[in-house]
Amino acid sequence: MQAPSPTACLIVIGNEILSGRTQDTNVVWLAKALNDTGIRLAEVRIIPDVTQTIVETVDACRSEFTYVFTTGGIGPTHDDITSDAIAKAFGVPLARNQEAETLLQRHYGQGKLNAARLKMAEIPAGASLVLNPVSAAPGFRIENVFVLAGVPSIMQAMFEGLRHELKGGAKMLSKTLSAFITEGVIAERLAAIQEQCPDVEIGSYPFMRQHRLGTSLVVRGTDEATLNAAHRRIKELLLGLTQEVAEEDWAA
């Protein structure tokens, strides 16, 4: 067995997600990007724009996971309270970052860097910048916590810029099989395969597609040979029951 992968927690700071107004897409994107880097997304918390909640959540998560990412709340408006909350969580003051001010000055042009925009140059003392190639206003890193924008295209651009700072482990590989077989039919034999292949993780995910129930079976692991062996056994199991087995994800 290899050493366990580094872990990450994503803290989504956003009333707009909790109200149902905005469909989150950052979780899927970051989960895949982290996995490509050999880091396992181990937990996500979606919390409201409330300073005390942000402080407590960041505090709880930064000791539990290798890396913590936050998204949202670093803009210039009154409801952008993330930077202040992160400073409180680390017990440091907010301070004007000279590099950030220069970046904002260049982006907005002479005379347009008003007080609200200048607020985006205030980051916790000791933090380093995470650059924003889309709209200039930077995120930042303090210890193992990365503070990013919530707008997906900006969050993604920020992540690409910070990726080299992350230290990943073995990459998680996965293979999927889907069939219109309900879980109850295969559960016992699937449990036996899982028992005989303890180095992979076998997930069974029911789905509903065109009003038919089926199951996607996902094998995950860091060693390709072990992964393939488990995958083969599941494929044999399914092919004994139906001819319609697909090497793809049929999740709803």
Among 91, 111, 184, 240, the residue binding a second copy under the rule CB under 8 A is: 184
What is the residue whose two structure tokens read 């996607």?
216
Using rule CB under 8 A, residue 29 touches a second copy: yes
Least distance between a second copy and beta carbon 79 (Å): 6
3-state secondary structure of 48: coil
Kind and range of the H or E run holding 237: helix 224-239
Catalogue the E-assigned strands of the chain: 7-13, 40-47, 67-71, 94-96, 122-124, 128-130, 139-142, 145-148, 173-179, 201-209, 212-221, 245-246
Among 37, 66, 194, 222, the residue binding a second copy under the rule CB under 8 A is: 194
Nearer to a second copy, 28 or 239 (CB): 28
Using rule CB under 8 A, residue 246 touches a second copy: no
Lateral strand order in the sheet of 201-209: 201-209, 212-221, 173-179, 245-246
Least distance between a second copy and beta carbon 87 (Å): 19
Binding mask 200-239 for a second copy (x = CB under 8 A): -xxxxxxxx----x----x-x-------------------
Least distance between a second copy and beta carbon 126 (Å): 26
Nearer to a second copy, 140 or 216 (CB): 216
